[in-house]
Amino acid sequence: MLEIKNLHARVEGNEILKGVDLTINAGEIHSIMGPNGSGKSTLAQVLAGHEAFEVTEGSITYNGKDLLDMAPDERAAEGVFLAFQYPVEIPGVSNTQFLHAAVNAQRKYRGQDDIDAIEFLKLTKETRNLVKIDEKLLSRSVNEGFSGGEKKRHEVYQMAVLEPKLAILDETDSGLDIDALRVVAQGVNSLRSPERAFLIITHYQRLLEYVVPDFVHVLYRGRIVKSGDKQLALQLEDKGYQWIEEEARAATV
């Protein structure tokens, strides 16, 4: 589904990603861990198509297409979804209005008819219950005045409504209490299918107890320096990244 080869990217003149290789197949769950500033969010934003990040080398193929050649909105319509680490606020645009617009824009891209406001509400009812998101919250402006947890839950809600093929979750589990964490896990598990894949960026293995990853990767200084299974996540949480650093240094010597 996704093939990242030798990806180099920079922001404001600084090279952040320095040769990332990663292959994700449909049906798989991958997790990326790594110390602060290692480039996890940068990778996520590059996948979603943020223009502030400039790809200088390498390629990304998504379902046989050149992902880097597609606009962010095209990527979304093709099934790429990013749950933001820091979701933005958009005063004046209601959550419901915006998501309805997004659903219709994606439908249009796929040559489907618009759905009206009533249908949209019907369609999203189940999802609202699933992620336990209040209708009152949804009638407010996008993320405006939301608590950290509410913002994250709102990202999961959008994901569940848009039903992406490749969902990238950038620290969606950070700063959540256990109930909210379960909601996130439920959101992911409800979407799990052989056609879908997940890339879960996290600092904690807590979420990974509910959503068991097939692979865990360590992103370190802009490169994936180690890959393993769920055990690696436990090890990282236990021992930190010091040993990774030492291993990495030994490897380059």
Partner 1 sequence: MITGTAGQQVKKVRLVPTFSSRDTLMAAQAPQWFYAMRHAAAQRYNQLGLPTSRHEDWRFTNIASIRETAFELPTSVDSGLVAAKQVESVGILGLDGPRLVFVNGRFDSNLSSLGTMPKGVEVLSLAQAFTSRQALLEKHLGTLAGVQDQAFTALNTALADDGVVVFVSKGCSAVQPIYILNITVADKPLMTNSRNLIVVEANAAATVIEDYASPREDVYLTNAVTEVVVGDNADVTHYLIERESHKAFNVSSLYVRQGRDSRFTSHSILFGGAIVRNNIYPVLDGQGCDSLLNGLYVIGGDQIADSHMRVEHTKPHCDSRQFYKGIMTDRASGVFRGRIVVRQDAQKTDAKQSNENLLLSDDASANTDPQLEIYADDVKCTHGATIGQIDEDQVFFLRSRGIPKQTAQALIVYAFASESLERMEVEPVRGFLRSQLLDRLPAGAVLKRLL
Ligand X SMILES: Nc1ncnc2c1ncn2[C@@H]1O[C@H](COP(=O)(O)OP(=O)(O)OP(=O)(O)O)[C@@H](O)[C@H]1O
Residues in touch with partner 1 (CB under 8 A): 48-52, 71-73, 75-77, 81-82, 84, 87-88, 90-93, 97-106, 109, 114, 141-142, 158, 162
C-alpha dist (Å) from residue 58 to 2, 54, 235: 13, 11, 31
Q: Is the Cβ of residue 81 or residue 215 nearer to partner 1 in the bound state?
A: 81
Which residue is nearest to Mg ion, using beta carbons? Answer: 41
Q: What is the size of the binding site for ligand X (CB under 6 A)?
A: 13
Q: What letter does residue 112 receive in the DSSP assignment?
A: P
Determine whether 184 is exposed, middle or buried from the number of CB atoms within 10 Å of its CB (0-12, 13-18, 19+).
buried
200 binds, among ligand X, Mg ion, partner 1, none (CB under 5 to 8 A by kind): none
8 touches 18 (CB < 8 A): yes
Partner interacting with residue 243 (select from ligand X, Mg ion, partner 1, none; CB below 5-8 Å by kind)? none
- From the list 19-27, 40-48, 103-111, 226-234, the region that binds ligand X by CB under 6 A is 40-48
**Nearest-angstrom CA–CA distance, 127 and 154:** 11
Q: Which stretch binds ligand X (CB under 6 A): 9-17, 55-63, 190-198, 244-252?
A: 9-17
Give the nearest distance from C-beta 89 to ligand X in angstroms: 17
Nearest CA to 187 out of 115, 98, 81 is that of 81
Between residues 39 and 164, which has the closer beta carbon with respect to Mg ion? 39
Instruction: Compute the distance between CA of residue 65 and CA of residue 43 in angstroms, rounded to an integer.
Output: 18
Q: How far is CA 68 from CA 122, 133, 174, 200, in A?
A: 35, 34, 29, 21
Residues that bind ligand X (CB under 6 A): 11-12, 16, 34, 36-42, 52, 85
